[in-house]
Structure 1
Amino acid sequence: VLALDPIIGAISAGNVVVIKPSDQAPACSSFLANTLPQYLDTNAIKVIEGGGDVCEQILLHKWDKIFFTGSPRVARIVMTSAARNLTPVTLELGGKCPAIFDHLSNPSDFKMAVKRIVGAKWGICSGQACIGIDYLLVEEKYSSEVIELLKKFIRKFYGDNMVESRVLSRIINKQHFERLCNLLKDPLVAASIVHGGSIDETNLFIEPTILLDPPLDAEIMTEEIFGPLLPVITVNKIQESIGFINSRPKPLTIYAFTKDDTFKRKIVAETSSGSVVFNDTLVQFLCDTLPFGGVGQSGFGRYHGKYSFDTFSHEKAVMHRHLCLEIEPRYPPWNKFKLEFIRLAYRLNYFGLVLHMLGLKKHN
């Protein structure tokens, strides 16, 4: 989807397209390379596979537009290459997307909110999605209740023998698996695990894992997790979550579960993110009438629906004029009459212009 969605906008805007799928997902890359030529004009749409060396060669060429989805580290390389030719760039980079959990007094609302959090965190690629929930903010007095319900839905969705589950994704590759395992090796981080934590290296499996208040300076809280690990961060008052989010790089999405309209307005007005979603998760990605994109370290530019068409288009200004009438004050030599005419026109003072042309307005 992340590869095909922007392609639709690029093609609809009349572009030829070169697609370079990620070598971190070889099965998906091979699928695109083998399938797209069967349905699309290979003179207009090309799929090029390969690793970093291939990317370097591609970036040496001069392009009209570069659209990149990936990590901030690689995005800096892409931008550096694009700058040589002043090529415009759209970056979709993800980030640590927080979920704010305000207290919901209605038990059914409380249950539905937790259910949606579990589905968003572990149901979509086991947390390996840029719009997935990275960490959860909740008031300390409600944290135990939230965690117990999280555990309940994890068992309901994935069963007790999760390593055998067919609906729980594995980690995409060995390198990423090792990176996630290293996040848990910090003794203080390991001590904060309240659920899960088991791993199966052979199957690249990591159990859905909940951590309660891991150290805020640990890598698990400073880098995008992109995996099945969910830190739960407690605050005294849920309004403090705004300051917590603002103290960190701008996220791609902020999720907030609350019925407090005043709090909703504060979240929208006092935070910066690519999008804000209230009382649900992930659905903003499916809505093609909303722009999708980040801000700051989570990226810049937007796409989806008509926004994709606009991203891959150039709005050329075209103006047609007649040759029959002329406005003489635009030409030198300048005098008081002409300068006053220009001042009035600049201020859109049409009544003053009429008086001026009739000689009924004195010059300043």
Structure 2
Amino acid sequence: MEIVTDNLENEAPIRPLFDAQRQHARIVALTKAPERIGKLKKIQAYLLKNRTGLTTALYTDFRKPPAETELTELFATNNELNVAIQQLKQWMKPHPVPTPLAMLGTSGYVRYEPKGVTLIIAPWNYPFYLIIKPLISALAAGNTAILKPSELTPATTAFIREMIRSLFAEEEVAVVEGDATVAQKLLELPFDHIFFTGSTAVGKQVLAAAARNLTSVTLELGGKSPCLVDETADIEATARRIAWGKWVNSGQTCVAPDYVLVQRLVKDRLVEAIRKAVQRMYNADGKGVQASESYARIINNRHFDRLKALLDDAREKGCTVSMGAQTDPADRFIEPTLLENVSINMGVMQEEIFGPLLPIIPYDTREEVLRYLTGRDKPLVMYLFSQTASATDHWLDRTSAGNTVINDTLIHFAHTELPVGGVNQSGIGKSNGFYGFQEFSNARGVVHRQFGVLDLIYPPYSDKVKRLINFFVKYL
């Protein structure tokens, strides 16, 4: 999605919808945990009843295998629902804080209050999960929400629209459909919070638009997430986990391994093990990956052409194809592909790939890896494969990433007790469980004065008061 500045001729329905939600937000803010949990349970019941409709929609949009939809869209959403339903009462309670000595006679706590009217803009790659997951957090926190799903997945958008219309009044949750001009018009409104998932380039535009209204934002972006494999790694397990993390959804995953840095001593073994893993996952019957019912397609022709251009550019500049590279534009199919002998001047090493191409880069020393990573944008996630704690500690101490997974890929997204999100170029803010609830809440600090000695330092500033202030400065 590219945000543009064209005026939307049929903008009239959007502003009244926003105004209606702003009025209703005052009522929703007063809801207690049982009411909010009831809304989440409605979503859960709808999903379990209509799961076939969801898998059909994703298959229609880009041939996403139904089992993969169940895992990455339905299970992931239901997991988030379960945690919010089970823990929301605790999240909503006042969170007491310690009393500093200087505040003797007071008590303090943090009260989480809803921000108000929220906007959720979702991408096309996980078009259901990445719009409903933040909605769960928004509803748990007591907000209203306007949802802008991707125009590139019309079948899934239709499923979302029907679900929301059947469960919520428009003044509480509504779906607004359209292209980038609709997103631009929404971003002009003074929302209380915006949750955007998408590319770094568009994230910058969303942040600039939000700044005009001083709106808080959560930006879940992307970038080139590295996968580092050292000589102690369990190569067979590492290969399976990299293969799954890279080629689920045909590589169209913001937290997919973007490239692999592997110790030269084990590079050839890893490449061969990845070949075997792909064979088992997508070509066990020998009919070829394209015939597999377990492998999705590229979302549209534009993205297919972009990926094909990256592949052609790498080949023209001297890379070696170690696996794959078969393409079929009529089917929007690109085979799982391994690229070796890549260089920094190739497009695959300059931009987020977001597809089934995986560069393999050997290294000899840790210092070589650090030089390679230093100066590059901080990634959304870093994957470390090693059997030694000292090695993982080494990389955790010397690198920065939104998240880190040791000896696996992707699984952090389903860990609802951990914050998930980027850093700098890869994002702002966190989601998952309580952290998502926090994002859609204002942490309101409350201090209650019961007794104390603070009024002893009020003017006039006599010598006695000055001595007391001096005591406070030196000892409290």
Same fold (TM over 0.5): yes
SS of the counterpart of 2:146?
strand
Q: Which residue of 2 aligns with 1:222?
A: 350
Q: Does residue 171 in structure 1 map to residue 298 in structure 2?
A: yes
Q: Does residue 266 in structure 1 map to residue 391 in structure 2?
A: no
Alpha-carbon distance change, 145 to 328 in structure 1, aligned in 2, over 3 angstroms? closer
Structure 2 distance, partners of 1:104, 1:19, is: 46
Q: Does residue 251 in structure 1 map to residue 379 in structure 2?
A: yes
Per-residue deviation, 1:246: 2.6
Structure 2 distance, partners of 1:21, 1:295, is: 24
Alignment of 1:287-306 (within 5 A): 287-306=415-434
Alpha-carbon distance change, 325 to 125 in structure 1, aligned in 2, over 3 angstroms? closer
Amino acid at match of 1:120: G
Per-residue deviation, 1:238: 4.8
Alpha-carbon distance change, 129 to 325 in structure 1, aligned in 2, over 3 angstroms? closer
Alignment of 1:86-101 (within 5 A): 86-101=214-229
Q: Does residue 331 in structure 1 map to residue 452 in structure 2?
A: no
SS of the counterpart of 2:218?
strand
Per-residue deviation, 1:326: 6.2
Q: 1:120 aligns with which of 225, 245, 251?
A: 245
SS of the counterpart of 1:3?
helix
Per-residue deviation, 1:140: 2.1
Per-residue deviation, 1:35: 1.8
Q: 1:148 aligns with which of 267, 272, 282?
A: 272
Structure 2 distance, partners of 1:149, 1:117, is: 10
Alpha-carbon distance change, 314 to 144 in structure 1, aligned in 2, over 3 angstroms? same
Alpha-carbon distance change, 56 to 326 in structure 1, aligned in 2, over 3 angstroms? same
Alpha-carbon distance change, 98 to 328 in structure 1, aligned in 2, over 3 angstroms? closer
Per-residue deviation, 1:190: 6.1
Q: Which residue of 2 aligns with 1:53?
A: 181
Structure 2 distance, partners of 1:287, 1:233, is: 29
Per-residue deviation, 1:189: 4.6
Structure 1 distance, partners of 2:298, 2:352, is: 15
Runs of 4+ in 1 over 6 A off after TM superposition: none
Structure 2 distance, partners of 1:328, 1:95, is: 54
Structure 1 unaligned blocks of 5 or more: 350-364
Amino acid at match of 2:252: Q
Q: Which residue of 1 aligns with 2:311?
A: 184
Q: Does residue 62 in structure 1 map to residue 190 in structure 2?
A: yes
Structure 1 distance, partners of 2:193, 2:428, is: 14
Deviates more, 1:240-249 or 1:295-304: 240-249
Deviates more, 1:39-48 or 1:92-101: 39-48
> Which has the higher Rg, Structure 1 or Structure 2?
1
Contact 1:200 1:206 in 2 (8 A): yes
Structure 2 distance, partners of 1:257, 1:327, is: 56
Alpha-carbon distance change, 333 to 220 in structure 1, aligned in 2, over 3 angstroms? same
Q: TM-score, normalised by structure 1?
A: 0.90
Q: Which residue of 2 aligns with 1:344?
A: 471
Per-residue deviation, 1:283: 0.9
Structure 1 distance, partners of 2:289, 2:318, is: 20
Q: 1:27 aligns with which of 116, 135, 155?
A: 155
Structure 2 distance, partners of 1:328, 1:211, is: 71
Q: 2:439 aligns with which of 283, 297, 311?
A: 311
Alpha-carbon distance change, 328 to 157 in structure 1, aligned in 2, over 3 angstroms? closer
SS of the counterpart of 1:234?
strand
Larger helix proportion, structure 1 or 2?
2
Structure 2 distance, partners of 1:239, 1:91, is: 32
How many residues get paired?
344
Contact 1:139 1:238 in 2 (8 A): no
Structure 2 distance, partners of 1:327, 1:297, is: 45
**Can you list the C-alpha shifts for 1:232-268, whole angstroms capped at 9, x where unaligned?**
0111125632332233211111101101211111111
Structure 2 distance, partners of 1:239, 1:285, is: 30
Structure 2 unaligned blocks of 5 or more: 1-128
